[in-house]
Amino acid sequence: MTEAELPVVRGEDLSRHYSTGDVIVKALDSVSFDVLRREFIAVIGHSGSGKSTLLNLVGGMDRPTGGRVLYGDTDLGSLNDNKLADYRRQVVGFVFQFFNLIPSLTAYENVELAASVSENAMEVAHALDLVGLTDRATHFPSQMSGGEQQRVSIARAIVKNPALLLCDEPTGALDTGNGLMIVRLLARMRETIGCPVITITHNPEIGRIADRVFYMRDGMIERVQVNDEPLPAEELVW
């Protein structure tokens, strides 16, 4: 098996259960999967299907109650809180539905803050250039459109040179035009920075550009669709 074929992340019988009184909620129930290098994966399902729980476990934001999440040979569940924080800081880039920018900082400064906590950060100006915001670097979030703010959040995620880019409903707060622009940009990132992209979404159209689509229901991956010839991101419309 070549390096390109080795999984970056694996889930093995992965579960996350919550107790509410005498009721056990199975947010994720014995799920197994892998994520390969330079792969675009869309995780699609209704609210409550388990897709956000899966993303949180892969991103080291939560711990499993059963099974394992492996980054290479490292079992994330075996890491203490400090090591898990290092994993989130050094390995994973996060893009969320809401931009979570610091309003008192410019676009450049928001990205610079993320770069300052990473050991392998790229130049801030380069990250902004990759998302087409060189000319907006000195603008504050209040001076930018929603699409521009989301591009700043993508620059903030990729400036760390992450090994894994995780996106939680990245188009959910955007209109159609900006949503399409953001999806196309994310699809390019796997080649630009050489890492897999996992995007969770309610929008089934995003699955057309993915290498694989995980369809989730009731805490389980109901089926996996493999797209041998994904639609080029530039041709995506909805």
Return the pLDDT at 6: 77
Give the other-Cβ count within 10 Å of 105's Cβ. 15
Distance, CA of 160 to CA of 209 (rounded, Å)? 25
Domains of the chain by residue range: 37-63+80-233
Q: Does residue 112 carry a pLDDT above 60?
A: yes
Contacts of 120 (CB under 8 A, 6+ apart): 90, 160, 161
Q: How many CA atoms lie within 13 A of 122 on its CB side?
A: 17
Q: Mind listing the pLDDT tens digit for each residue in 184-214? A: 999 999 888 889 999 999 999 999 999 999 9
Asked whether the predicted pLDDT for residue 2 surpasses 70, the reply is no
Neighbours of 167 (CB within 10 A): 27
Angle at 192 between CA 130 and CA 213, to 5 degrees: 115
Measured between alpha carbons, how far is residue 227 from residues 81, 171, 232, 234 in Å? 37, 22, 12, 16
Neighbour count for residue 49 (Cβ, 10 Å): 23
| pLDDT above 70: residue 3 | no
Whether the Cβ atoms of residue 151 and residue 132 lie closer than 8 Å to each other: yes
Distances (CA, A) of 98 to 25, 165, 173, 200: 26, 16, 7, 14
Check pLDDT > 80 for residue 8.
yes
pTM (2 decimals)? 0.92
Q: What is the pLDDT of residues 10-67, one digit of tens each?
A: 999 999 998 888 888 899 999 999 999 899 999 999 999 999 999 999 999 999 999 9
Q: CA end-to-end span of the chain, whole Å?
A: 38
- Give how far Cα 204 sits from Cα of 154, 210, 213, 216, 220, Å: 22, 10, 9, 12, 17
Pairing of strands 212-217, 220-226: antiparallel
What is the reported pLDDT for 61?
Answer: 95
Contact 219, 54 (CB under 8 A): no
Minimal CA–CA distance to 132: which of 183, 185, 179, 191?
185
Q: Read off the pLDDT of residues 155-191 as tens digits, 9 standing for 90 and up.
A: 999 999 999 999 999 998 888 999 999 999 999 998 8
- Give me the CATH topology for the region 37-63+80-233: Rossmann fold (3.40.50)
Q: How confident is the model at residue 4 (pLDDT cuts 50, 70, 90)?
A: low
